[in-house]
Amino acid sequence: MSQEQWTAVDSYTGKLLIPQDTTLERASRASREAGLPDVEVSPHQGKLLHLLARVHGARTVLEIGTFSGYSTIWLARALPADGKLITIESGILFAKAAAAHIEEAGLAHLVDQRVGKALDVLPQLAAEGAGPFDLCFIDADKPGMPEYFRWALALSRPGSVIVVDNVVLGGSLVESAGTDPAVDGARALHDMLAAEPRVSATTVQTVGAKGYDGFTLAVVGE
Ligand code: DHB
Ligand code: MG
């Protein structure tokens, strides 16, 4: 199996199952034109997040790592009219680009953008009494994964769903620790999950137009 084949299959299923969406495509294209890296979730993964939020009946969503707002738009579109999505981004240029994309998508009334380092903003959210969130999507810097997961758990309730992007990292997850801080982050996340009685989790490997990676899905228990 090759990248070419994964891309072809994503293209085939995407054409059939994921309607062309000018707002999302523009958000993605504008990000490239602004020199932002191509690190949004793929359309397939974006739709998976959207469907997960719908299956779960999520009314409140926390996103750690807004980036271009691409996944934010997919998630916010799953919310009811009185829903709320709080999204955190430390990159000011990313946050500005995301604000424009979210506005253009007609979702600004549902989305509360917070600009700052997640480890500064998350305690502020807790102090404000924000949450518990029905669903949390973690897609920020990879070394921060375990700390972000700890905060997501703190801002959750029994039944909350937590999704973490990029936990397989092209298979590097199984390489030895200490060479790549992103891999260390993903491994520490898994160690934490193994020892955490409050969550039940799985990690699913993925291939597609954006290569080989994977995500962790966790549900918070009693
Ligand atoms: C990178 C970050 C992501 O969130 C992603 O999905 C892919 C790549 C990166 O920083 O390289
Ligand atoms: Mg990602």
Comparing CA positions, the residue from 115, 121, 95 lying closest to residue 36 is 95
Is the confidence at residue 222, as pLDDT, over 70? no
For strands 111-115 and 135-138, give the pairing. Answer: unpaired
Residues 6 or more apart in contact with residue 10 via CB below 8 angstroms: 42, 43, 44, 208, 209
Tell me what percent of the residues of the chain surpass a pLDDT of 70. Answer: 100
| 165 pocket-lining for ligand 1 (C-beta < 6 Å) | yes
Ligand 1 pocket, mutate which of 39, 40, 164, 212 (most atoms under 8 A from CB): 39
Catalogue the E-assigned strands of 90-144.
111-115, 135-138
Average pLDDT over residues 69-98: 97
State yes or no: pLDDT of 205 exceeds 80.
Answer: yes
Q: Which amino acid is at 74?
A: W
* pLDDT reported for residue 182: 97
Q: Is 209 in the pocket of ligand 1 (CB under 6 A)?
A: no
Q: Tens of pLDDT along 30-53?
A: 888 878 888 999 999 999 999 999
Specify the pLDDT at position 33: 85
pTM for this entry: 0.97
How remote is the CA of residue 172 from the centroid of ligand 2, in Å?
Answer: 15
Q: Could you confirm whether domain 3-220 is CATH 3.40.50.460?
A: no
Nearest residue by C-alpha to atom 10 in ligand 1? 39
Q: Complex ipTM above 0.90?
A: yes
Question: What is the domain partition of the chain in residue ranges?
Answer: 3-220
Output the residue whose Cα is nearest ligand 1's atom 1: 39
